[in-house]
Chains A and B, each alone.
Chain A
Amino acid sequence: MINNYLKLQYKLLTRHFKATGLPIVVAPLLLLGAGYLVYYLLLQYPVFGSYALLLSNFQLLFLMTEKNRNDFLKNTFSKKDFYTIRLLENGIVILPTLTIFIFRGLWLYGVTLIVLAIIFAFLVFKTFGKSLPTPFAKKPFEFIIGFRRSYLLILVLYMLAAIGFYVTNHNLVLFCVAGITLSCVFYYQLPEPVLYLWNSRETPTRFLLGKFRRGILQCLLCVFPLLLIYAVIFSSEWFNALIVLGGILFLLPFAITLKYVAYPREINFPEGFALALCFSFYPLILALLPFYYLKALKNLKNYL
């Protein structure tokens, strides 16, 4: 039974991959390439690279505790099979990172990851009351949904930032701010149904600019308290806070633009590659943003 379930999951994964238009044989190569990149990142930034890896696995494990999905598994399988499946799933999810940690001899991170995988296999996160209240009021939906999917990660990042302030480690605080900003960028992976977009009466330009404005405001709402305390406590380093703020001003609109370039499908390899390029060399955003912005406008004309 478990075997069949895992085979089915594998089938679903391969279908998702095939939907990108790439042949399935490329998948192991991409995985190896990504693994090498992450390994290289760890060589460059051993401490914050390890934190980033650990936290991204934390978020993935958290997403897998989603209630409806776990309810389905509980209803379908016996209790023993359910926990076996959850442990196996979490094990598969952390395996690539765990391998890298072992290669780099980062044993403490490896053990932490295993412990997290085991704990998350036994957890199901229910909503607070009927739904999780968010600080994002009524608009736009990406932030509301994204926040509900990543609130635990945001909480952990806030706690890490608090530790950073306490031990006066300004890099740790900036790492947390960057982490929260990146989470916000990932909120825009999700394409809305065509009918949602159809409802808008805005022109493509106004629609996109409105999204930028709201996205930046809401992202700032998430990071502004940290940046403000940062500027007060590490007053000599205020320029760093300004750089991060500047980063947000371009990164978020870029992510939104990519979403509507790809729309109605999800952001895929071409857009993901552009985003990855900009992460490796940030000023590239300034060159790519106008190009993709025009592409997004052209695409939006089909729906607005």
Chain B
Amino acid sequence: MIELIHISKSFGQHQVLHEVTFNFEDGKVYGIVGENGAGKTTLFRCIAGLETASGQINANLEPLKNHLGYLTSDPYFLSKLTGEEYIYLLTDARGKSIKKLDERNIFELPLKEYASSYSTGMKKKLALTATLLQDNSFYILDEPFNGIDLQSSIILTEIILRLKAMNKTILISSHIFSTLKDTCDEILVLEEGRISKSVKKEQFGDFEEEMKEKILKKDIDKLWL
């Protein structure tokens, strides 16, 4: 369980998060959607403790950061470090000893090659593999489906469902609604740093229609089509 109580965050004069309050329950998958700049990544960074924020963040496992796997939207890799070494670095940091890594390389990554030379999708898969092998209780996956191929996307969906079955709490941000529909129990809409709406699984269909109508009306009408 992760409980957010009145989380606010500003960068100078610009307030990015406004009194965000929510309770993420164990064994559930939460989707966070919102336009670019709505505050999704800032919210994730605040939960991870990478940004200081006002308000309170409570978790049933403390300190939260030691039980949290965080996949950033744009993972960074140091040069001259192979994929295998990156995985060992991250799992070792959590005191996990990984055996038979080759067998656990489900995305079939070239682990002996330098990670910095990987394609965008491969980098994401490598970071995801390392985060999963840390065996955390909570996961924050920021745009996990971006840049990865169809096969990997299917694998990732299955992984998220299995993590859920293992009673893990997962927060995902994605701009691909179908992936959220397949994996999430609840979707939170973040607008200008506020949770403007919370949508339960049974309402996903209506929500998708509502979003389509709203967005299309707002934007497409401006084109000549």
Contact = CB atoms under 8 A, between A and B. Distances in A.
Contacts of A145: 78-81
B81 A198 contact: no
A105 interface: no
A199 B93 contact: yes
Interface in B94-148: 94-95, 110, 112-114, 134
Interface stretch (A9-17, A48-56, A187-195, A253-261): A187-195
B93 A131 contact: no
A132 B82 CA distance: 9
A2 to B, nearest CB: 26
A144 interface: yes
B176 interface: no
Nearest to B101: A138
Interface string B38-78: 00000000001110000000000000011000101000101
A295 interface: no
B70 A195 contact: yes
Interface residues of B, number: 26
Given A127-B114, A130-B113, A196 B80 contact: no
B86 to A, nearest CB: 8
A149 B114 CA distance: 13
B78 to A, nearest CB: 6
Interface string A144-172: 11001100000000000000000000000
Q: Is the interface of A mostly helix, strand, loop or mixed?
A: loop
B82 A131 contact: yes
A192 B76 CA distance: 10
Given A131-B112, A138-B92, A141-B85, A195 B76 contact: yes
Contacts of B112: 129-131
B93 A190 contact: no
A138 B110 contact: no
B207 to A, nearest CB: 32
B95 A139 contact: no
A126 to B, nearest CB: 12
Contacts of B95: 201
A112 interface: no
A285 to B, nearest CB: 28
A130 B94 CA distance: 28
Contact of B50 (A132, A190, A195): A195
B113 A199 contact: no
A198 B88 contact: no
B89 interface: yes
Nearest to B110: A130
Contacts of A235: none
Interface in A200-249: 200-202
Interface string A23-67: 000000000000000000000000000000000000000000000
A202 B65 CA distance: 11
Contact of B85 (A138, A193, A200, A202): A138
Contacts of A149: 80
A190 B113 contact: no
B90 interface: yes
Nearest to A136: B85
Among B66, B70, B89, find the residue whose CB has the most chain A CB atoms closer than 10 A: B89
B180 to A, nearest CB: 24
A243 to B, nearest CB: 32
A196 to B, nearest CB: 7
Given A130-B114, A138-B88, A199-B93, 11 more contacts: A138-B89, A138-B92, A139-B88, A141-B89, A144-B85, A145-B79, A195-B76, A196-B90, A196-B93, A198-B48, A199-B134
List 6 A-B pairs, minimum CB-CB distance, nearest first: A138-B88, A201-B66, A199-B93, A200-B93, A148-B80, A130-B113
22 contacts: A130-B82, A130-B110, A130-B113, A131-B112, A131-B113, A138-B88, A139-B88, A139-B92, A141-B89, A144-B80, A145-B81, A148-B80, A149-B80, A193-B76, A195-B50, A195-B76, A196-B89, A196-B90, A198-B48, A198-B49, A199-B94, A201-B66
